């Protein structure tokens, strides 16, 4: 069933304000709003989807997945943002939400699978999948696999970006693999806040509500993030949860329970309930894409015959 669709990826500052995103390239998508400026790179292993021209993409993978520690990951959402006003760390959350109920579409054993994800992958997650507008979120500070604090000075940030580009290299194999830490005075700001320098320590640190509330995303400072895992397979549209000890692995074929809604990854301010950064994954039926070229060819032929009078007219 999954092979009947192409995956289309868009992003923007709101649910409605969206533009196509290139997948598996190092071409960055820039996002601007009155709340922040941001940039995004999306990578999907075994990508079966559309490019920004709404045509089947030839880029099935990225060099990102050939580099440690990403050799087993299935996707990456690498993004940075610079707030235009201070935001409390407790209020910035990241996750999925939906416009319509999904309670009747949940697969058997979903609650057990969710408990497993919450315990094994992200203890900071909170959700209400029974709601009219269901959601699943977690604090950004404890959810991101990699989190990096940049400098507050624009000139210094430009130097950081130039250094990253030089480190990534050039050509088809060029790729920026983000690492945990800080740049410029961002490293000092991170240490002054008492945040552990490693990703595991940082995620555990921010499971405490008091640490979330004590942190401020500063206006004018860039924060870089990479969210990735080997669990969501966009190729088969399935969730693959790991097995351990006496518990076997679980594969949930999401496509079998899909009700037509897109999958949205949202960074939002939960204090104001405002979206700050939205990435949308939409399944597009193949016939809508593959048949489009034929339809356009037929339309063009019809137009040409209208203007020339057609082949029969030429014979008269």
Q: For 98-149, what is each residue's pLDDT tens digit? A: 988 878 877 776 777 677 667 666 788 888 888 888 889 999 999 999 999 9
Q: pLDDT higher for 149 or 297?
A: 149
Domain assignments of the chain as residue spans, ordered by start: 2-106+121-230+260-286
Q: Residues 15-22: what's their mean pLDDT?
A: 97
pLDDT score, position 291: 77
Q: Residues 40-50: what's their mean pLDDT?
A: 96
pLDDT score, position 180: 98
Nearest CA-CA partner of 125 in 195, 6, 207, 226: 207
pLDDT score, position 234: 85
pLDDT confidence tier of residue 242, bands split at 50, 70 and 90? low
Order of strands, edge to edge, in the sheet holding 238-241? Answer: 232-233, 238-241, 250-252
Checking if the pLDDT of 209 tops 50, the result is: yes
pLDDT confidence tier of residue 157, bands split at 50, 70 and 90? low
Q: What percent of the chain has pLDDT over 70?
A: 78
Q: Is-contact 13 35, C-beta < 8 A?
A: yes
Give bridge partners of residue 56 from the DSSP assignment.
50
- Neighbouring C-beta atoms of residue 170, cutoff 10 Å: 8
Checking if the pLDDT of 293 tops 70, the result is: no
pLDDT confidence tier of residue 306, bands split at 50, 70 and 90? very low
Q: Residues 192-218: what's their mean pLDDT?
A: 97
Checking if the pLDDT of 197 tops 80, the result is: yes
State the number of CA atoms in the 13 A half-sphere of 158 facing the CB: 3
| Class of residue 246 by CB neighbours under 10 A (exposed 0-12, middle 13-18, buried 19+) | exposed
- Neighbouring C-beta atoms of residue 177, cutoff 10 Å: 17
């Amino acid at each position: 069933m999954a092979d009947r669709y192409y995956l289309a990826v868009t992003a923007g500052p709101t649910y409605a304000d969206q533009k196509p995103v290139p997948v598996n390239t190092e071409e960055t998508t820039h996002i601007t709003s009155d709340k922040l400026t941001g940039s995004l790179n999306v990578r999907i292993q075994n990508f079966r989807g559309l490019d920004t021209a709404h045509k089947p993409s030839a880029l099935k993978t990225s060099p990102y997945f050939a580099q440690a520690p990403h050799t087993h990951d299935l996707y990456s959402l690498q993004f940075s943002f610079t707030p235009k006003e201070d935001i409390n760390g407790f209020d910035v959350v990241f996750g999925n939400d939906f416009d319509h109920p999904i309670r009747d579409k949940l697969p058997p054993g979903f609650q057990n699978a969710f408990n497993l994800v919450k315990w094994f992958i992200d203890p900071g997650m909170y959700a209400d999948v029974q709601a009219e507008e269901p959601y699943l979120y977690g604090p950004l500070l404890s959810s991101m696999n990699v989190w990096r604090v940049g400098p507050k000075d624009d000139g210094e940030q430009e130097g950081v970006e130039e250094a990253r580009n030089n480190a990534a290299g050039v050509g088809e194999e060029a790729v920026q693999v983000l690492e945990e830490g800080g740049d410029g005075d961002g490293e000092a700001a991170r240490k002054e806040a008492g945040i552990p320098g490693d990703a595991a320590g940082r995620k555990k640190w921010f499971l405490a509500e008091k640490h979330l509330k004590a942190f401020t995303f500063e206006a004018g400072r860039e924060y870089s993030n990479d969210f990735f895992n080997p669990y969501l397979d966009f190729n088969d549209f399935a969730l693959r949860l790991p097995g351990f000890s006496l518990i076997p692995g679980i594969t949930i074929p999401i496509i079998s329970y899909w009700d037509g809604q897109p999958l949205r990854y949202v960074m939002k301010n939960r204090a104001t309930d405002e979206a700050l950064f939205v990435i949308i994954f939409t399944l597009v039926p193949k016939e809508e894409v593959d048949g489009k070229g034929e339809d356009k060819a037929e339309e063009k032929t019809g137009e040409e015959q209208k203007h020339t009078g057609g082949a029969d007219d030429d014979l008269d």
